[in-house]
Structures are given as C-alpha cells and as structure tokens.
Amino acid sequence: MWLYLAALLLGLLLLRRWHRERQTVPGLCEKHVLITGCDSGFGNLLARQLDARGLRVLAACLTQPGAERLRAAASPRLHTVLLDVTSSRSIAAAAAWVRERVGDRGLWGLVNNAGVSVPTGPNEWLTKDDFTKVLNVNLLGLIEVTLSLLPLVRRARGRVVNVSSVMGRVSFFGGGYCISKFGVEAFSDSLRREMRPFGVRVSIIEPGGFQTGLIDPAAVAKGFRDAWEQLPADIQAAYGHHYLDTYAKRSVLLQRLSSRRLSRATGAMAHALLARCPRSRYLPGWDARLVLLPLSYCPAWLLDAILSFFLPSPAQAMPSCP
C-alpha cells in the first residue's frame, strides 16, 4: 500500500516538474542575450537558434571572420562584437557596447560559453604557462565578464548561464581544463545563491564529450609530442615512449567518440534562458549522465581504480601498496 502511494506521489511530482519546465517566459522579442565564444561550436549554434526564435542576440566573437560568418547566417536582429575574455580592456569595451544596446531594459541573458581545452596532458609534462592559458579563458575571463555585466542582468531580473563541463565533477586528465571547470562550478554555486534574492537565476551547463570543431585530434596528438620533446631526459625515461604513444592515441579516440549533436547542449542552454523555472544544473550528453555523473559519486579509491585503468603504465611504474 505505502509503496503504491510513494510511486503515485513521485509520479505527481515528476509531472508537476515537467509541466513547470515547459512554460517559457513572455516577450522573447524584447529580450537581449549576450553569448561569448560565438565563432564556432556551441556559441555559434546557440546564437542562430535564439535568433530564429526572435530574441535580440548579442554575439561576442574572438575574430572578425567568425563574426562575419555568423552575421551572414543570421537575421539583422543579431549583432556581433569582438571580445577577448583574457583582456580587461576588451571586456570593458564590450560591456559598454552592451549597455548602449540594452538601455534601461537591462540584459536578460548572459551565456559564458567561451572556452579552450588545450594545452592538456599529464601534469608533469606541462608548465605554469600551460595552466595559465586555460585558466585565463575558462575561469578568470568568465568571472570578469560576469562581474562586468551583472548589474545589467540584475536590472532585467535575468539569467546567467555558465558553460562548465562534467569534467568539473571528475578530473579525467591533467592540465588546466578540469581545474578551470571545477572553478566555474564553485563560482556559479556562490553566484546562484547571492543572485536569487534579486530574481536572477544562475544555471550551470555540464556537457559530456561533444565534437565542437575546436579540437583537432591530430593537433592534440602533436601537442603531446611537442610537450614530450621539451621534457628533461629523466622524466622521459620515467614515462617511456610507450606511455606517450598510448596516451596520445587514447586522447584522440575519446575525442572521436564524442557526440556530434551539439543541439543537445544548446537546447539545455536555451531552456536555462527561456524557461520560467530553469534548472540549476544541466547534463547534456549520454556520457555525462550515464558514466561520469555516477563516477563522481564513487569513493575516491574506486574512482581512482576505474580511471587509472584507462591510463597507460609508465616505464618506471612502482608496485601498488600491499
């Protein structure tokens, strides 16, 4: 008896959630949304999708050719601006440009999508500058863009959508990428709680593996080999050429197994912007939901054992503890 009542209650709760999440905010044609990283990948596709729905899209691109291609593929409503999220001067100029266009209405949506994933590789192979290159874009740039535009978002009682990664839950490889995504998670969590009293909703997108076109598998493998050539002889001897070759091949394989359906991720971003009741977190991608999310809840010893299975064995590997 109690089991049936619990199942009925759960069903009603899920039905209520489904109904609430299907409702969208009114007045889409009057809302401005700024998206960073629109040259290609998620940002480019999301900009075109929101433009098709009648929103006033402000697309921030890193390069002039990327901006021109996007304008050619969209309606006259879409406007572009050049933005380098690693440059405070560029961010200040873009923020002033946004203020001129949104006026007293404020900025309904900010999508922090710009990001990079390389340099990456075993941590010991990398330098501080390798970490800094990624952190400046994925984390520090995201924070500065958000702080520059937050008053406009607060005025509109709008939305902030930060593109993290499921790697912000599970550090699958070395380098600055996973570190930066862990940072995005922490920043977004604190911002969500601070902005809720103002009516601003903050959502995190945690995609799994997607082929966004930003990563060339051949370039990744070449990057590993270039880093290898810069290593001291003792470190090369500790890992061995077999480690290098296997690590590069497995990294390329993971990239090729990634999904090509970018709309799964951009659909989550659009829902976070336009739904009356957006979620705090979205996990687009089968690998994010079925593999990496469950792994993130495993005990450390079990998680280490599973992920270590995918790493090659170094030439000078020591036996494990008895």
Q: Are residues 284 and 139 in the same domain?
A: yes
Q: Is the peptide bond before 197 cis (omega within 30 degrees of 0)?
A: no
Query: What angle do the packed helices 176-195 and 142-156 form, to 10 degrees?
Result: 20
Measured CA distances, 84 to 93, 127, 135 (Å)? 10, 23, 14
Q: Are residues 66 and 190 in the same domain?
A: yes
In this prediction, residue 21 carries a pLDDT of: 62
Specify the CATH number for the domain of residue 37: 3.40.50.720
Q: Are residues 113 and 220 in the same domain?
A: no
Residues 84, 94: Cα–Cα separation, whole Å? 9
In this prediction, residue 249 carries a pLDDT of: 76
Q: Are residues 199 and 221 in the same domain?
A: no
Residues 320, 322: Cα–Cα separation, whole Å? 6
Element (H, E) at 33: strand 32-35
Q: Are residues 160 and 299 in the same domain?
A: yes
Residues 293, 298: Cα–Cα separation, whole Å? 9
Q: Are residues 89 and 202 in the same domain?
A: yes
Q: Are residues 31 and 164 in the same domain?
A: yes
Residues 107, 160: Cα–Cα separation, whole Å? 10
Q: Are residues 264 and 198 in the same domain?
A: yes
Query: Looking at the 3D structure of the chain, how many domains does it have?
Result: 2
Residue 234 lies in a domain: yes
Q: Are residues 253 and 265 in the same domain?
A: no
In this prediction, residue 98 carries a pLDDT of: 97
Instruction: Provide the domain limits for residue 36.
Output: 27-211+260-306
Residues 309, 139: Cα–Cα separation, whole Å? 30
Q: Which listed residue (177, 243, 247, 282) is catalytic? A: 177
Instruction: Indicate if 243 belongs to the active site.
Output: no
Q: Are residues 100 and 169 in the same domain?
A: yes
Q: Are residues 82 and 96 in the same domain?
A: yes
For the chain, the distance separating the N- and C-terminal CA atoms, rounded to the nearest angstrom, is 50
The verdict on pTM exceeding 0.85 is yes
Give SS3 for 163.
strand
Residue 59 lies in a domain: yes
Per-residue pLDDT of the chain (322 residues; tens, 9 = 90+): 677 677 667 776 767 666 566 677 888 889 999 999 999 899 999 999 999 999 999 999 999 999 999 999 999 999 999 999 999 999 999 999 999 999 999 999 999 999 988 888 889 889 999 999 999 999 999 999 999 999 999 999 999 999 999 989 998 888 899 999 999 999 999 999 999 999 999 999 999 888 776 666 666 777 778 788 888 888 888 888 888 788 777 777 777 777 788 889 999 999 999 999 899 999 998 888 888 889 899 999 998 888 887 788 887 666 665 5
